[in-house]
Chains A and B, each alone.
Chain A
Amino acid sequence: MNLTLLIWTIVKILIVIGFVFNVAALLTWVDRRQSSMIQDRIGPNRAVLKLGKFELRVAGLLHTAADGVKFFFKEDFMPPNADKLLFSLAPILAMTPVLALLAVIPFGDTLCIGDFGKIVPRFGVCDGTQGHGAWAMDLMVAPLNVGLLYVFALAGQGIVGAAIAGWSSDNKFSLMGALRAASQMVSYEVAMGLSLIGAMMIYGTIRLDDMVRWQGDYAWGIFVQPLAFLLFFTAAVAENKRIPFDLPEAESELVSGYFTEYSGMKFGMFYFAEYMEVCTSSMLLVTIFLGGWQLPFLHRDGLTIAFGETVLVHAPMAHWGVALLGVVAFFGKTLVMCSFQAFVRWSLPRFRYDQLMKLGWRVLLPAALANIFVTGLVWVGIDKVGVELSSGLKIAGDVTQAGVAIAITFGVVRLIIGMAGKREHRYSTAGTSAKFAEKLGGSKETPMQA
């Protein structure tokens, strides 16, 4: 039993780490290609793998591989007066907390081992006592009951890596970047923590998987705590040190901030940690506010479309199907959030440093406190009114679920319709250059793979 558990834990670690590593590598490509599409460019597509006559380009994905190769083969330069130990330690300190954070993120519903073919009840345990499952397995690496506290604790460690990197580099730019990073991350840590207090109050737990379960039973966190979602998203982007909050590495002012002196794989680790942070913060957002592995109306026993007590559709599904859908939903939502963060990055300009601090302390922090206060008031109010409201709230929750389902459907349909549409282009032969091109039958489309 213990050996099985160990093996399963290793499998779970591999799944999560594998996902995050691959998504982080993919995000470097997404950042490049998505930005190019946003800015009407083609983007990098030149990295090529030549196998005889066959050329493999896969839409520029090989640039990621080329990056990796380059990181490994570059000179690992260290400034002569740098603190040798700390200089080498910093990239590790930047990367480790991001990976350790993944331990408490649930990426799927609790599995009933031995019950995959059957339909499991919506509520209840599957430890074999009620005739369901031999034992239950949480789809998270470490089912800690301190969940969110662990997340806060590790998210705070990111500062240490940045600060030590800047300090040990023996470079003024690095030091300034490190100071900026430290003060920025400390400031936003506060708003980030406080913005989640409201969510904790409503969910009544700090275990992340219980939070997701609550969201499946009632409504997604983004409907219950819309302001907290906005605050947490802002704070998370600031914690990741991404545009519009990338002041610690502001390249127009500080070369590249706290990792100016880093090269080779040490720089690669900072670079990679940033993209992994994007991925983990997306995972946290999905877990706390976007229903984690939950899909609208999909519960442990199958699809149940119900508003309050009135059940419209009930289609039971086998356990393996529900579990698989849940895992796919979680990773899918994470990818969408990652892509959204890239959109934010390529749309918004960088803040000034005083604006950043002003936003953190004078907007986000009071807003988070107000959110806690209002949440508490509403909570007490609902408690006072009592039972009459609860059925109404349940229906309201189901309406939000229906809203999410409709929104997803609309989005997919809109995407398909948009793909089918064609944009008319204006033809212009002004100028002799265009006339020559017209004579040649237009400029040839590239034979490259995008």
Chain B
Amino acid sequence: MSVTFPKKPASATNAVVAEHPVNTLYIKSTFPEIFRGLGVSMKHFFDNTKEMLKGTRPDPVLERYDEGITCISYPEQKRPYPERFRGIHRLTQREDTSPRCVACLCCSTACPAQCIFIEPGEYPPGDARRGYERFPVKFVIDELRCIFCGYCVEACPCDAIRMDTGRHATPYDSRDQFVYGKDLLLNFPGRDGSHETANPRHEPGDPGHPGLDREHAH
């Protein structure tokens, strides 16, 4: 007595069975397909040659989904980086061009590559910011060690470090040139050309400020 297994239901996946090409007489006769292939080559050749000669080839960025040569001739022609591209870091500035950074060391703590070094400094006695916050005496990023993960930007409580310069790491010919100091990082503008950020910042003495800090606590 033969045992019949119940037929399996159709798979729930959306896989499509590929159709095996049938070796018809048309395919076996070879030449029609060869000439069709040559025709495709020639169509591309003549269209593209015409556009190269006339200089009307599609814009490689704005018309990139189109037929034709959409190659980018790199150094002369560039595709802008997308908005959320993580480029070289910059240190944002306050209105008085001093760094927004308060040397809290959050970024260097968060950095998995340990490429950030900060030497914090206290404001002199009498300064309104003394005891309220610190400032970076040194702020150094080794761009060769950096893995461009963006954790420093996430960690920063003051929006002081950002990666929105839209520029990639520049190649140099020695390693120490990749070590970016505070002044250089402060000099990079953001993509909109500004050295500041759109986020507001409380300075000591602001009316919305609770007036608490390390020296005048409670």
Contact = CB atoms under 8 A, between A and B. Distances in A.
Interface string A323-349: 000000000000000000001101110
Given A445-B77, A450-B52, A34 B63 contact: no
A419 B52 CA distance: 11
Contact of A422 (B34, B42, B56, B70): B56
Interface stretch (B4-12, B78-86, B111-119): B78-86
B48 A443 contact: no
A66 interface: no
Interface in B27-60: 34, 37-38, 40-42, 44-56, 58-60
Contacts of B83: 432, 435-436
B78 to A, nearest CB: 7
B77 to A, nearest CB: 5
B23 to A, nearest CB: 14
B62 interface: yes
A6 interface: no
Given A425-B66, A428-B63, A418 B77 contact: no
A309 interface: no
Contacts of B62: 427-429, 434, 437-438, 442-443
A40 B69 contact: yes
Given A343-B42, A418-B50, A450-B52, A443 B72 contact: yes
B64 A428 contact: yes
A139 B17 CA distance: 63
A39 to B, nearest CB: 7
B82 A433 contact: yes
Contacts of B173: none
A372 B51 CA distance: 46
A446 B40 contact: no
A447 B71 contact: no
Max count, chain A CB within 10 A of own CB: residue among B34, B40, B42, B45:
B45
Interface residues of B, number: 44
A443 B50 contact: no
Contacts of A429: 62
Contact of A443 (B56, B60, B82): B60
A37 B45 contact: yes
A78 B63 CA distance: 51
Nearest to A34: B45
Which applies to chain B's interface (DSSP): helix, strand, loop or mixed? loop
A433 B66 contact: no
A422 B47 CA distance: 9
A444 B64 contact: no
Nearest to A415: B46
B45 A42 contact: no
Contact of B73 (A428, A437, A446): A446
B80 A437 contact: yes
Contact of B40 (A42, A344, A347): A347
Contacts of A343: 38, 41-42, 45
Contact of A432 (B40, B55, B72, B84): B84
Max count, chain B CB within 10 A of own CB: residue among A422, A428, A429:
A428
A259 B124 CA distance: 77
A433 B42 CA distance: 33
Which applies to chain A's interface (DSSP): helix, strand, loop or mixed? loop
Contacts of B77: 443-446
B79 A37 contact: no
Contacts of B44: 37-40
A50 interface: no
B61 interface: yes
A41 interface: yes
Contacts of B82: 431-433, 436
Nearest to B67: A423
A343 B45 CA distance: 9
Contact of B38 (A40, A347, A434, A446): A347
B76 interface: yes
Given A425-B66, A445-B55, A346 B41 contact: yes
Given A425-B58, A436-B83, A40 B73 contact: no
Contact of B79 (A344, A347, A443): A443
B37 A348 contact: yes
Nearest to B84: A432
Contact of B61 (A37, A426, A442): A442
Contact of B76 (A415, A422, A428, A448): A448
Interface string A48-77: 000000000000000000000000000000
A433 B81 contact: yes
Interface string B145-174: 000000000000000000000000000000
A432 B79 CA distance: 11
A440 interface: yes
B164 to A, nearest CB: 12
Given A37-B44, A41-B71, 8 more contacts: A347-B37, A348-B34, A423-B47, A428-B63, A433-B61, A436-B80, A437-B59, A443-B61
22 contacts: A34-B45, A38-B45, A40-B69, A41-B69, A347-B41, A419-B54, A423-B47, A423-B68, A426-B65, A428-B65, A431-B82, A433-B61, A433-B82, A434-B61, A434-B64, A435-B83, A437-B80, A443-B60, A443-B79, A445-B77, A446-B76, A447-B76
Interface of B: 34, 37-38, 40-42, 44-56, 58-73, 76-84
